[in-house]
Amino acid sequence: MTKIIKLHPHQKNADDVPERLLSACKMPAYEKPSDAFHLDHILHGHVAKLTGGISPIALSLAGIDWWAHLMFSPSKQEMLRQSMIEKMTQFGQYAITSSSDAEQELIVTPPSEDHRFVSENWQQWPFNVMQQGFLLSQAWWTEATTSVPGVSDHHLNVASYTVRQILDIASPSNSPFTNPDILQTTKEQGGKNFMQGMLNFMDDVERKKNDKPPLGAGDYIVGKDIAATKGKVVYRNKLIELIQYEPTTEKVHAEPILITPAWIMKYYILDLSPENSLVKYLVDKGYTVFMISWKNPDTCDRDTSLEDYLNLGIGEALTAVKAITTSAHVHGVGYCLGGTLLSIMAAAHARDGDTTLKTITLLASQVDFEEAGEIMLFVDESQVAFLEDVMWNQGYLDKGQMAGAFEMLRPNDLIWSRMINEYMQGKRTPTYDMLVWNADATRMPYRMHSEYLRELFLQNDLAEGRFMVAGAPVALQDIRTPLFCVGTSHDHIAPWKSVYKILLLSESEITFVLTSGGHNAGIVSEPGHKGRTYQMATVPNTAHYVPPGQWKDKTPTQEGSWWDAWEPWLAEHSTQSVAPPPMGDKKDYAAIRDAPGKYVLMV
């Protein structure tokens, strides 16, 4: 196990750091002499700049697998031929009749999540013919890239995804000559929309080149307008700052809350504006709240491991929280990757007989990665090896490379719609707190991200009992701590059915919640937020397993925020009320600076 040098933040050489990390900055990654694949790393790193971090070999393998099996399947080819003839016939009839019949029934309607053709202008001729032709082509290609005998599921998903991206480029909604909304705006403004769109584009290019925040981000200052809940940084090491928030009630619950956010973004998604801050909500309800703020790593942190995130992150934070509050028990809360890490810690505690965690709350967090959603399109052996070469060159995965991958999961919402609205119609998307947070991305250390992708995504070691902590495996089924798990209905990062699989892996009593919204907006779902709903049911550890679809069908839907259902659950699992613990006056945990601290401001 890694030897840890014990120091305290107020000492001259503050920070807890493994010995092997002390020399991490002595030489840049590309000068390390011991790597036999030096040339490969350099080559692949340069190729990645041209491909956006996507492995061309991974795409080629998927394409070859799909094409070869399709060419060897005459029955599938005949089905596609018949389908093409049928669709061309339907389209021809529609194109003729719709020119004189405005009420002509559509041949195909887009999926509910596709908003490109919702405008009434798309129902007018000839734009209705264009969108129907595109949707029919899209439907045919979907048939061509699904149910091809012999193709691996992963390769078939990659082929289908790639075809969708190519088709989206040719969508009539993306051209100013075939999009009726753009033509209408151009007519109304006499072409000024394109002039403004060019200015918008040039401004965005300049901001990206100089790594500036998006337009309007200056209205949201971290520590003043967002991440503004009052508190103190009471501990710092090479990886985290620990924030303790000031109490707002005379009495607090005896058991404090420690929140572990994802390190892929800044922590303040859970402390946005005061009106939608989960931290402020909990503090005002009488809880002592602590938050981990992760350092934004650089080349010097290339060798930081996943176990370092566990020990220097949650491990050191729990030690500090218990010392400050004198409580033997802590409510653990983890969001996204932070929830995965918290699950690992809980399993290690269960293995070792540690009862520190009173309850565990997992927010849009996966522990089984077999069905991890569309993000798995970018995770296979070829892609991970390619990504490791990219990280090897610089010591980390750049925030732009990470953001690009997530944008490609929702290109119509995050790429094409922006191009249409901001560059062709000359409009600017209003800036709001979550948009500012979303642009404030972080980097991923080389070693940690490689371990995370391989051990969790590729090998699914945590779910299958092979994940090692301190030299021994941990098992989620050892956890007996009460669990509160939240999935979001439109999550493209942690699909709720994947989150739901915790019910197969733990012997605890689990309260599962399915809330409306996506990965971020579904979690930041403050009371009073219009249109929010959730479903909630508690599953005793003696109950039989219920599949996710069946659970959803039989669990009633409730109006409002899941926060108001979670807080009573926390209170039920808390003990007496006590006076608030001291703020930053403990010998070993003296206040270092005011919240939000230093690490969250690192770019």
Q: How many CA atoms lie within 13 A of 402 on its CB side?
A: 19
Query: Rounded to the nearest 10 degrees, what angle do helices 153-169 and 56-71 cross at?
Result: 100
Query: Which amino acid belongs to residue 447?
Result: R
Helices and strands per DSSP (H, E), number in the chain: 21, 19
Provide the token pair at 354: 């540690």
Buried b (16+ CB within 10 A) or exposed e, 88-101: eeebeebbeebeee
**With the C-alpha atoms ordered 389, 390, 395, 396, is the resulting torsion angle positive or negative?**
negative
Query: Could you tell me which residues come within 8 angstroms of residue 164 by beta carbon, excluding any fewer than 6 positions away?
Result: 138, 141
Are 260 and 335 a contacting pair, CB within 8 Å? yes
DSSP 8-class letter at 132: H
How far lies 521's CA from each of 49, 274, 428, in Å?
A: 31, 15, 21
Cβ neighbourhood burial of 183 (10 Å; 0-12, 13-18, 19+): middle
- Token pair 């089905």 is at which residue? 79
Q: Rounded to an integer, what distance in angstroms lies between the CA atom of residue 444 and that of residue 425? A: 36
Nearest in space to 512 (alpha carbons), one of 491, 479, 535:
535
- What are residue 357's DSSP bridge partners? 330
- Tell me the one-letter amino acid at 176: P
The CA distance from 67 to 163, in Å, is 12
294: left (phi over 0), alpha (psi -120 to 50) or beta: beta
Per the structure block, which two tokens stand in for 263?
Answer: 């390190």
Distances (CA, A) of 186 to 17, 119, 169, 419, 562: 59, 16, 21, 15, 44
Nearest residue to 589 via CA among 119, 243, 164: 243
Side-chain-side CA neighbours of residue 563 (13 Å): 22
Radius of gyration of the chain (CA): 26
CA distances from 596 to 279, 285, 599 (A): 12, 21, 8
**DSSP character at residue 26:** S
595 neighbors 234 (Cβ within 8 angstroms): no
Q: Please give the Cα distance from 269 to 276 (Å, whole number).
A: 10
Judge contact between 290 and 323, C-beta under 8 A.
no
Per the CB < 8 A criterion, the answer to whether 5 and 16 are in contact is yes
Kind of pairing, strands 472-473 and 468-469? Answer: antiparallel
How far apart CA 158 and CA 167 sit, in angstroms, is 14
Q: Give me the active site residues, please.
A: 336
